[in-house]
Amino acid sequence: MGDVTQATQQTKELGAPSIKCPMLSTTNYTVWAMRMKILLRVSEVWDTIEPGIDDPKRNDVATALLFQSIHESLILQVGEQDSAKKLWDAIKARHQGADRVKEARLQTLVAELDRLKMSDSDTVDEFAGKISGIAAQSASLEETIEETKLVKKFLTSLPPHKYIHIVASLEQVLDLKTTGFEDIVGRIRHTKIE
């Protein structure tokens, strides 16, 4: 757990006495942001960031947690922000970049998803994890990939020589427009392939 630091919070009304903060690095912004969002929710201070309520005490707790999760060099760059929301937005801007960079990243993710195929050496869980990872990265850039697209991509990317009969059966008995991604993955995972 080298990417986690310990933050102590003594405020009884605002959360647990001890919280593990993930450390932001140059390569883990997406996962860091997801973890911090949950941590700030558990600490009951996420609303100082979204929608950005003005509560000085809660703002200080959120700011302290954010400071615990970033390196000193970044604190020196963004630390003068006067609210947790502005601090969050400054960190986000530094790691997601301008709109053009964001758009380029989204295009890269879409292309990566389009090219993705399950190899014979992949397990169902590994392949589903790759699709979920791309979907999570896209969501962190504020572009949600529709569940039906994920389901379709998963089913059409399975090796046909192993899964064609299973996929055909699922297409006959399920409405793939309303079936969730995790449901399809679970059904494929629990099917014996010989």
What residues have CB less than 8 Å from 139, skipping those under 6 apart? 145
Tokens of 31: 């996962």
Residue 104 inside a domain? The answer is yes
Separation between Cα atoms, residue 33 and residue 23, nearest integer Å: 10
The Cβ of residue 175 has, within 10 Å, a number of other Cβ atoms equal to: 7
Q: Which region, left, alpha or beta, applies to residue 15 given φ > 0 means left and ψ of -120 to 50 means alpha?
A: left
C-alpha pair distances (Å), 134 with each of 37, 105, 140, 169, 177: 19, 11, 10, 27, 20
Task: Give the per-residue pLDDT at 127.
Answer: 94
Q: What is the pLDDT of residue 85?
A: 93
Residues of the chain with pLDDT below 70 are 1-19, 97-100, 192-194
List the structure tokens of 23.
């450390």
In a shared domain, residues 84 and 106: no
Please indicate, yes or no, whether the overall pTM of this predicted structure exceeds 0.95. no
Q: How many other β-carbons are positioned within 10 Å of the β-carbon of residue 146?
A: 11
Shared domain check, 80 and 103: no
Range of the domain at 38: 4-96
- 133 belongs to a structural domain: yes
Would residue 28 count as lying in a domain? yes
Model pLDDT, residue 182 = 93
Instruction: Kindly state the tokens that stand for 11.
Output: 């405020």
DSSP 32: H
Tokens 């757990």, located at residue: 1
How many structural domains is the chain composed of?
2
